[in-house]
Structure 1
Amino acid sequence: MVSSPKLLSFLLLICVISVQAQDFNSVKSIAERRVPWLAKSLTLSKIISNEKDVFELSSDGKTVFIAATNANAAAEGLGWYLKYYCNRSLSHLGNNLSPVSKLPVIKEKIRISSPFQYRYALNYCTINYSFSFYKWEDWEKELDWMALNGVNIMLAPMGTELVWYNTLIKLGYSDTDAKAFIPGPAFTAWWLMGNLDGWGGPNSLQMMLSQAEIQKKVLTRMKDLEIEPILQGFYGMVPHDLNKKVDAFKDAQIIDQGTWVASEFIRPAILVPTNDKFNVVADIYYSELKKLYGSDIKYFGGEPFHEGGKKAGVDITAVAKSVQDVMQKNFPNSTWVLQGWQNNPADALLAGLKKENTLIIELFGENTSNWEQRKGYGGTNFIWSNVSNFGEKNGLYGRLQRFLDEVYRAKESPYGNYLKGVGIIPEGLNNNPVAYDLMLDIAWRNEKPSLEKWIVNYTTYRYGSYNQDIVDAWKIFTQTVYSSPINEKGNIVYQEGPSESIFCARPSLKVNPVSSWGTRKRNYDTKLFKQAVALFIKADNQFKNSETYQTDKTDFLRQVMADKGDKAYDDLVKAIQEKDKKSIKDKGNQFLTMILQQDSLLNNNNYFALNRWLNQAVALGKGLPDANNILYNAKAQITFWGPDNKSYTRLRDYAHKEWGGLLSSLYYSRWKLFIDEAMNDKITPANTFYDMEVKWSRDSNLFPIKKLNERKLLAIQKRILE
C-alpha cells in the first residue's frame, strides 16, 4: 500500500513538531521547578547556527518561544526572559519568582549570541565555603542558577574523596590509613590544591559513598544542561608517607612538600611526574575516576606546587608534559585547566604543555592584569575572572566598573584572541549577587554596557518593579561599596575582598585585619553610603513582601552597623589605653550592645543566620556515623579554621561570618571577656580566645533563630541609621 504525498507530508510535519516539543527538556524542567506559572506557556526548539551559543526570544502574550543552538543557550534565554521581560530572578540571597499578572509580549523576535566560548564558575574554595554540606536538593537549585545565567563550564571536583580512597586501597593502603589522607567535608578544597591532608577527618566510607552518589546526580544534570564539569586531575599529589606505606614506592622519587601557612599544615607529597612510578598511580586514579563518573570528562583541574611547595632540582617543563600526557592517555583530547594566580602557572610549566589542551583561569582580575603582564600567558587560552570574595566573609564589595572595563580592554587588546571567556571565581557565593549577575551578563554582550543603565535593569528584575528611590540609592552604591577606587598614581586600590567587621575580630588593642590578608579599611565614603541606605529604605512599604528587597535591606543595614563599629572600637581602645575604668565600662557596654543589635538584625533573615549553615551540616550527617564530626567541621571552618594543636593559627577567623547566632555567642563572649579583663588592667592573650573557639566548635548547639517582632526590628533599624 502506497501512502499519498499529502499523508506523508502530514506525518512528517507531526514528527517535526514532536521532535521540537522534546527539545531541551532539561530547560523546561527548570521552569517547572522555579517558575511553574511560566512552564506551561513555554515552547522550546533547536536552531542551527554558525555561532555556537545563540538564543532567540519571541512571545505573543500567550506563548513564549525560545529557540537556541543548545540547552545551555536555551537556559540563558529563559533566564533572560525572566529578568528583562518579567522582572523576575533567582539568586543566592533571595528569589523573586512570583507569577506575573500577564506574560509580556515581545513584538519583534530578539536574537542574542555570546561572544565567548566559555562562561565559567567557581573557585576551589567555593566548594567548601559555600557547598560543604550540600545535598542533592541544594545542588539542583545551584545548577538551575548556573544554567539560567549561561554558565557552561564549572569546577566540580566533588566526590573526589572516594576516588582517592579507592586508589589508595588499590595501592595497598589499609582502610584506616587511606581515610587518614582524606580531609573532612569542610576542608577538601585545600587538600585538592595540595595544601593539607587529613584535617577535619576521618570520613566514614558511608559519607564518601553518599558524596559520590550526589556527584553522579550533579554530573548527569550538568550533562543535560550542557555545562562542562572540571574534575580533579592527577598531578602527582600523594600521601607524604607513600614510600613508607607501600614497598613498591620505597625508592620512588617523592618530594616532601613541607608545610603550608607558617608551618601549620603538613602538605601532601609530590610523586615526581617524570618518575616511572607516576604513571602507575595516575592510571589507577583515572581508572577509579572513570568507574565512578564516566569516561567522557573533558576538563581537569589541579596543579603541582600550588602556593609554594618544594620543586628544587625538578624539571618543571618535563613535569608539565608528563602530567598532561597521562591525562591525555586516559582522557583523549581533554583540557588541563590551570589557575592564573600570583606567579602561577610558571612560564616553565606552560612551556611543557600543548596549548590547544590548556586553559587558564585569570583569577584576580579585580586587582591584577596578569593576562597583560604575562602577554596572554605566552599565547595560551584564558578566561577573565575575579575573586571578589574571600572566605565567604560578609561585606558589600564588587568592583563593577572594573569588571566591565577590564573584560572589554582584554577583548580589544593584542591578546584578545586568547580571551576565550569570562567567569566568576569567588571563594564564596552567598553574598553580593550584583557582582555575579554582572559578570555572567557580560558573557552575552558584544559591546560594553553602561553600568548606570545596567543597574537600573538589575534593580528592576531583582526587586520586581522599578522604583526611583531604589535606583538613586544603587547609583550611590556604585560610587561607594561597589566602586572601583583608584589611588593617586592612577592604579586600582588593592583589596582582597570586602572590608571586614570589627565585631567578628579576635579582640586585641590593634585589630588590623580581622583575618589574615583581609582589611578593615573602608575604601568608600561611609557617610554617603549610609545616606544611600536610608534612601533605599524609603521603598520599604512597596517591597514589604519582597524576599530580595528585604534581604538586601538587611545586608545594607548590617554594613552600616559594621562601619559604625569601627568608631566604637576606636573609642574603646582609647579608654583602655588611658586606663579610664568608667570610660572602659561605658564604651565597652556600647560596643557589646552594638554586637547584640547586629545579631538581632541578622537573625531576622535566614540568609544571615548561623542556624542555616549548621542545619545544612546536620542534614548531610543524618544517619551517618560521622554526623558529630560533620557538625564540628561546620563550626571549625568559620572560627579557628585549624589546626587544633596550636594556640594560634594564621587562618583563624579567615572565614568569619557576621551572622545572627555567631555574634551573640562566640563573638560577644570574646569581646566581653576582653572588656572585663581590661577593667582589671589585663589584656587577654590570644591562646585564651583560641581555647574558647575550639570549645565553641565542639559544642552541639545549633543556635535556633530568634526573630524580633516588627516594632523592635524597626527600632534597631532607626538606631543604625542615626
Structure 2
Amino acid sequence: MKKMTRYRILMLFSLMIVGITAHSEPYEGVKDIALRRFPWLAKALVFNVIPGIDGNEVFELSSVKGKVMVSASTASAAAEGLNWYLKYYCNRSMSHFGDNLNALAKLPEVGKKVRVVSPYSHRYALNYCTISYSMSFYTWKDWERELDWMALNGVNLMLAPVGMEGVWQNTLRKLGYNDQEIAGFIAGPAFGAWWLMGNLEGWGGPVSQSVIDQQVLLQQKIIKRMKQIGIEPVMHGFYGMIPSSLKNKQSIKVIDQGIWAGGFKRPDFLLPEDPYFDKVADIYYSEMKKLYGEDLHFFGGDPFHEGGSSEGADLAASGKHIQKVMQQNYPGATWVLQGWQQNPANGLLAGLNKDKTLVIELFGENTNNWEKRHGYEGTPFVWSNVSNFGEKNGIYGKLQRFADEVYRAKNSPYGSFLKGVGIIPEGIYNNPVAFDVMLELGWHVDHLDLKKWIGNYTKYRYGKSNVNVDKAWALFLETAYSSPEVNQEGPSESIFCARPAIDIKTVSSWGTRKRNYDVAKFEEAVRIFVTASKDFEGSETYQTDMIDFVRQVQANKADQVYASMIDAIKSKNAGNFKSSSAKFRQMILQQDSLLSTSKYFSVNRWLQQAINFAGTKSDKANALWNAKTQVLFWGPDNNPKTDLHDYAHKEWAGMLSSIYLRRWDAFIDREFAQITSGNVSEPDYFKMENEWVKTGELYTLKPLKKRERDGLVKRILANNQ
C-alpha cells in the first residue's frame, strides 16, 4: 500500500511537471527579443531545450512545417541561434550603426539541420570606458536595445556597473559621511568609469538624489533582463578603493594613489591588512545585496589601475584578502580583472584562487600578454580587443589578427586557460564589422576564413549581395581593416579635430595620425562601394557605412592639405597659405555637411541623450556639461595643458562647424598675420573650449537633401575637389 501511494504521488508529480512544461515555452526572454525587433519572424519561432555537448553550449536550427526550430542548451545559445538564422538565412541584422530588419515575404527554410557548439564558456562584452563613452546617458529604452543586441551576438557575460552610485552612497552614510561629503566622491554621469576604476573622485558632480535613485532603478531592470536572456552581469566589487578623505575620519592604513592622467587626484587604496577593510567591504556588499540581490556571481575591480601605487602592499596577501572578503559575501563569485598594461601583477595573481578568477586580456589587437605571461600564470582568461579608444571616429579593426590570435591562443600550450573571447571597446558606436566578427569567433572551433566570412557579412548587413560591394570590401580588408604589425591605439585620427598647431603628430595624447594602410587603395574601394548606392537607397546600414567611408576619405585628404598649410607657414608664402587654408576650411564645412545627414555622426544625438537623461533643470544642465566636457577638453578645467584634451574627440556634425572650425579659424588668422606682419599672440584654445562647453547649444541636425548629399559625395571622391 505504501509503495502504491509513493508511486501514485510520483506519477502525479510527473504529470504536473509535464503539464507545466506543456504550457510554458522555453526561452521566452529570447522570443521576446524577436517580438521587439523583428516581429515578422517571432510567430514562426519554436524554441526547445537540449543538453549541452561535453559541457559546452550548443544550438541547433531546423525547419518543420513552416516553423523555425531553435533548440539550445542555454538562453544565450538560443539567442545566438536566433541571430544565426536571422543573419545567414534571412540576410538581416541589427547593429549600433543601423538595422537591416525589414520583413521577409517568405521565411527561408533550413535544409539540413545545423548544429553549432561554442568552444568557450564565456563570450564577454564591455570595457568600463564603454559605459561612459557610449552609454553615459542611456535610458531603459537604450539599455533594452543594447541587451537585445548583446544577447543576439551570444554575449553571456557583460560588465554592468550601472547604479553603483547608490551602493556607495549607502555605504558612505554608514561610515559617517554626510550628503555633501558623499557628493564630493561620486563622479558625474559621463565620468563614472574612471571613478570606479580608481582614477578620480567627484569629477562631473555633484549627482543629485533623483539621478542616483534613477540609476538604481535602471540597474535593477538591467539585471532582471540580463537574467531572462542568459547574460551574467559583472558587478563592481570592493577592491580597496575609498575616498581620499576617509583617512581624515578614521585611523587607517592607506596607500595614496597619487595623480592620474590630466591632473586628477585618485581615491586612496585601503590596505586589506587593515581591520577597517573588512568593515567597509562588508557594508558595501550588504548594500549591494539590498539593491541588486544575492544572485550575482561576477565582480570587477582592479587595484592599482593605470599606474596606481602599490608601494608598501604585499600584493599576494592583498589579492588573497580582497578575494576572501568577496567570497564571504558572495560565495562562489568570480573576480574579473583587466589584463591591461602591467595589471594584474603576478604578485597579485599569486595570492588568488585561480578557479574563482578571470582575466580579460584587453589589448589583443596589439599584445600577446596571455603568451608572455604564461596564460597569466595559469589563470583563466578571455582574449579580447579594445580597437577603439575614446569612441573616436575612424575606419579600423585588425580583423585578420582577431581570427588568427584567437585560434593560436586556443591551440597553444596555454589553450586550456583560454575560457572565452570578448569585445572591450572604449566606445561601441563605430566599425560594426569588428564587433560582429569578434563575437562570432566565440562559436568557431576551426580557424575562421575571413574572406569567406566577409562575403556573408555584406549580405546580412545590407540585405543582399552586390558585386561592387563585395569588391569594395575585399579592398577594405587590404587597407583600413588590415592587420599590420604596428602598435596602434585605435583608429588613425582626423586632423580636423586637433587643437591647431604646427607639425601635429597626434590629436590625442596616445593616438596617431599615421595611416598604416594604402590610402589611395582605400579611396578606390570607397568609390567602388558608392557605385552601388542606387541599389541600396532604402538601406540604413548601407547609407550609414557609405557616409562613414566617405568621411574617412575626406579626413585622409585633409592630411595633405594640412601639410600644404604647414609648408606655406614655414616658407612664409602668404599666397600658398591663403589658398591651402581656404581649402582646409572648406573641407571642414563639407565634412560637417556630409555627417549631418546621419544621426550616428552628429553631436546632437549625444547632447540630446544627455538632456533626456535627467529630469530636473539643474540635472539636465549638469548632464549637458558632462557630455560636452567629455568630448572636448576632458581634464580639469583649471588645467589647459591636460593630456586628456581631445582624447574623446568626435568627427561629428555640429562639432566640426562650431568648436573645431573656430579653433582652426583662429589658427589660420594668426598664422597669416605672422607671415604678413610679424609677431601675433597665439589663440587661447582652452578658453574657446570652455566657452563651447558652457553654451546650451545642441546643434540640431540640418541634413542635406539626397541630391545635395550625393553631389557632395561625388565632389569629395573626385580627384580634384
Paired with 1:16 and 1:474, the residues of 2 have a C-alpha distance of 52
Residue identity opposite 1:444 in structure 2: W
Question: Using a 3 Å threshold, how does the CA distance of structure 1 residues 687 and 651 change in structure 2: closer, same or farther?
Answer: farther
Residue 712 of structure 1 deviates from its aligned partner by 1.8
In 1, the alpha carbon distance for the partners of 2:23 and 2:648 equals 48
- Taking the aligned partners of 1:502 and 1:654, their CA distance within structure 2 comes to 13
1:514 matched to 2:510 = no
Map of 1:690 onto structure 2: 686
- C-alpha deviation, 1:15, in angstroms: 4.2
Shift of 1:61: 6.5
Residue 181 of structure 1 aligns to a residue whose secondary structure is coil
Task: Provide the residue aligned with 2:255 in structure 1.
Answer: 255
C-alpha displacement at 1:19, in angstroms?
3.3
Q: Which deviations, in whole Å up to 9, do the C-alpha atoms of 1:268-290 show, x marking residues without a partner?
A: 00111111110011111111111
Q: Does the CA contact (< 8 Å) of 2:667 and 2:683 recur in 1?
A: no
CA 176–13 in structure 1, closer or farther in 2 if over 3 Å, else same: closer
Deviation at 1:446, TM superposition (A): 1.1
Correspondent of 1:702 among 653, 673, 698 = 698
CA distance in 1, matches of 2:478, 2:696: 43
The aligned residue for residue 653 of structure 1 is 646
> Partner amino acid for 1:512?
K
Q: What are the within-5 Å matches in structure 2 for residues 492-641 of structure 1?
A: 492-623=485-616, 625-641=618-634
**Which residue does the alignment assign to 2:122?**
118
Spell out, residue by residue over 1:620-639, the C-alpha distance to the aligned partner (whole angstroms, 9 max, x if none).
02336421010000000000
- Unaligned residue ranges in structure 1 (runs of 5+): 486-491
- Preserved CA contact (<8 Å) 1:206 1:624: no
| SS, match of residue 59 in structure 2 | strand
- Residue-by-residue CA offset, 1:591-620 (whole Å, 9 max, x unaligned): 010000000000101111111111100000
**Alignment match of 1:76 (pick from 72, 76, 80):** 80
State the partner residue of 1:320.
Answer: 319
CA contact (8 A) 1:61 1:105 kept: no
Matching of residue 45 in structure 1 with residue 44 in structure 2: no
1:488 match: none
Q: How high is the TM-score relative to the length of structure 2? A: 0.96
Instruction: Please give the secondary structure, in 2, of the residue aligned with 1:201.
Output: coil
Map residues 157-236 of structure 1 onto 2, 5 A cutoff. Answer: 157-236=161-240
Letter in 2 for 1:291: K
SS at match of 1:322: helix
CA distance in 2, matches of 1:115, 1:185: 37
Structure 2 CA distance for partners of 1:225 and 1:686, relative to 1, 3 Å: farther
Deviation at 1:441, TM superposition (A): 0.6
1:444-483 correspondence runs (5 A)? 444-483=443-482
Decide whether aligned partners of structure 1 residues 12 and 290 sit closer, same or farther in structure 2, where only a CA change above 3 A counts: closer
The total of aligned residue pairs comes to: 705
Contact 1:28–1:39, Cα closer than 8 Å, also in 2: yes
* 2:136–2:190 CA contact under 8 A, matched in 1: yes
Code of the residue aligned with 1:525 in structure 2: it is D
Instruction: For residue 16 of structure 1, report the CA deviation from its aligned partner.
Output: 5.8
Match of 1:277 in 2: 276
Q: 1:647, 1:686 within 8 Å by CA — same for their partners in 2?
A: no
Matched residue, 1:420: 419
Task: Within 5 Å, give how 1:344-383 maps onto structure 2.
Answer: 344-383=343-382
CA distance in 2, matches of 1:403, 1:231: 27
Q: Determine the C-alpha separation between the residues in 1 that align with 2:656 and 2:495.
A: 11
More divergent stretch after superposition (106-115 vs 25-34): 106-115
Structure 2 CA distance for partners of 1:28 and 1:203, relative to 1, 3 Å: same
The one-letter code of the counterpart of 1:45 is: N
Using the TM superposition, give the Cα deviation of residue 582 of structure 1 relative to its aligned residue in structure 2, in angstroms. Answer: 2.3
Residue aligned with 1:45, SS = strand
Offset from partner CA, 1:389-433 (integer Å, 9 cap, x none): 000000000001000100000000000000000010010100000
Partner of 1:612, secondary structure, is: helix
Please give the alpha-carbon distance, in whole angstroms, between the structure 2 residues aligned to 1:17 and 1:45: 15
1-side partners of 2:185 and 2:144: how far apart?
30
Matches for 1:262-341 after TM superposition, within 5 Å: 264-341=263-340
Give, in whole Å, the separation in 2 of the partners of 1:21 and 1:265.
Answer: 54
Q: CA deviation at 1:690?
A: 0.8
Residue of structure 2 equivalent to 1:438: 437
Contact 2:147–2:226 (8 Å) recurs in 1: yes
Which letter does structure 1 place at the counterpart of 2:175? L
Please tell me the root mean square deviation across aligned C-alpha atoms, in Å: 1.7
Contact (CA 8 Å) 1:339, 1:345: kept in 2 or not?
A: yes
Question: Which amino acid letter does the alignment assign opposite residue 497 of structure 1?
Answer: G
Residues 707-716 or 674-683, more deviating: 674-683
CA contact (8 A) 1:21 1:43 kept: no
Q: Secondary structure at the match of 1:108?
A: coil
Q: Is the 8 A contact 2:255 2:311 kept in 1?
A: no
Give me the whole-angstrom Cα distance separating, in 2, the residues matched to 1:647 and 1:338: 33
Larger mean CA deviation between 473-482 and 104-113 belongs to 104-113
- In structure 2, what is the Cα distance between the partners aligned to 1:625 and 1:129? 22
Match of 1:104, SS state, is coil
1:362, CA displacement in angstroms?
0.6
Is the alpha carbon distance of 1:258 and 1:334 closer, same or farther for their aligned partners in structure 2, counting shifts above 3 Å? same
**Counterpart-to-counterpart distance in 1, 2:683 and 2:349:** 44
SS, match of residue 311 in structure 1: coil
Q: Partner of 1:305: helix, strand, or coil?
A: coil
User: Cα–Cα, structure 1 residues 684 and 542, in superposed 2: closer, same or farther, change >3 Å?
Assistant: farther
User: What residue identity is the alignment partner of 1:696?
Assistant: W
Distance 2:681 2:158 in 1: 43
Report if the CA contact (8 A) 2:495-2:507 is conserved: yes
Are residue 140 (structure 1) and residue 133 (structure 2) matched?
Answer: no
Amino acid at match of 1:125: C
The one-letter code of the counterpart of 2:188 is G
Q: TM (normalized to structure 1)?
A: 0.96
Task: Report if the CA contact (8 A) 2:604-2:699 is conserved.
Answer: yes
Q: Contact 1:303 / 1:338 at 8 angstroms: preserved in 2?
A: yes
Residue-by-residue CA offset, 1:206-229 (whole Å, 9 max, x unaligned)? 101101111100000001111011
Q: Distance in 1 between matches of 2:623 and 2:271?
A: 34
Percent identity reads: 56
Deviations 1:697-721 (A, max 9, x none): 1110000001111222122111111
User: How far has the Cα of 1:48 moved from its partner?
Assistant: 2.1
**Match among 93, 100, 104 for residue 97 of structure 2:** 93
Q: Which residue of 2 aligns with 1:673?
A: 666
Contact 1:89 1:95 in 2 (8 A): yes
User: C-alpha deviations, 1:237-290, integer Å up to 9, x for none?
Assistant: 11111121x2xx1x210221110126x000000111111110011111111111
Q: Distance in 2 between matches of 1:14 and 1:242?
A: 55
Give, in angstroms, the shift of residue 72 of structure 1. 0.8
Separation in 1, partners of 2:206, 2:493: 33
Listed one character per residue, the Cα deviations across residues 299-332 of structure 1 (whole Å, up to 9, x for unaligned) are 0101111111222221111110110010000000
- The answer on whether the counterparts of 1:648 and 1:687 sit within 8 Å (CA) in structure 2 is no
Report if the CA contact (8 A) 2:61-2:113 is conserved. Answer: yes
Q: Is the 8 A contact 1:674 1:683 kept in 2?
A: no
The letter of the residue matching 2:71 is A
Secondary structure (helix, strand or coil) at the match of 2:535 reads: coil
- Residues of 2 paired with 1:683 and 1:637: CA distance? 34
> 2:217 is aligned with what amino acid?
E
Alignment partner, residue 489 of structure 1 = none
Paired AA for residue 187 in structure 1? F
Give the superposition deviation at 1:691: 0.9
2:32 pairs with 1:36: no
| Deviations, residues 33-79 of structure 1 (Å, cap 9, x unaligned) | 00010111111111123443111111246211111111111111110
